[in-house]
A and B are shown apart, each in its own frame.
Chain A
Amino acid sequence: MSNIEKYTQAFCQAFDIDEETAKKLKFQDIPAWDSVGHMGLVAQLEEAFDIMLEPDDIVDLSSFEKGKEILAKYDITF
């Protein structure tokens, strides 16, 4: 699976949504992406890419797009 596939899958699984919805998603757009869901997403991403995000990056992870920028810091390219 490519990185973008893994990345999108993490969103789909964390929030139980389809890929199209995932790609446009921002924090709190849907009820599932609240602060509880946020930690679920973090767990999915960390497991998918075998990384550990810093607290700053967890806070900054505010949208699907922003998440890609953040993961770049962990040498994950899309």
Chain B
Amino acid sequence: MNLKIALFGIAKEIVGQPELTVTAPEGQPVHQLLEQLRTDYPALRQLSSLAVAVNNEYAEDAQPLQERDEIALIPPVSGG
């Protein structure tokens, strides 16, 4: 399956584009996607934290991803 991943803030700068499409096995868990992205973009490892959001909620490491999910990479937030 192809996963579309929205990127924001420093993650968007590191990857160099606002959206990324990655090919992953059906039901790939969140932590494997994170590992793949950290391998492809090692600068992501330097961040204080890196979360994945699925359908506007923070996702657990083991959560399986589906092609229809709205997925985003969430670097450390700094609102307020």
Q: Do A and B interact with each other, yes or no?
A: no
Instruction: Write the residues of chain A forming the contact surface with B, with a CB cutoff of 8 angstroms.
Output: none
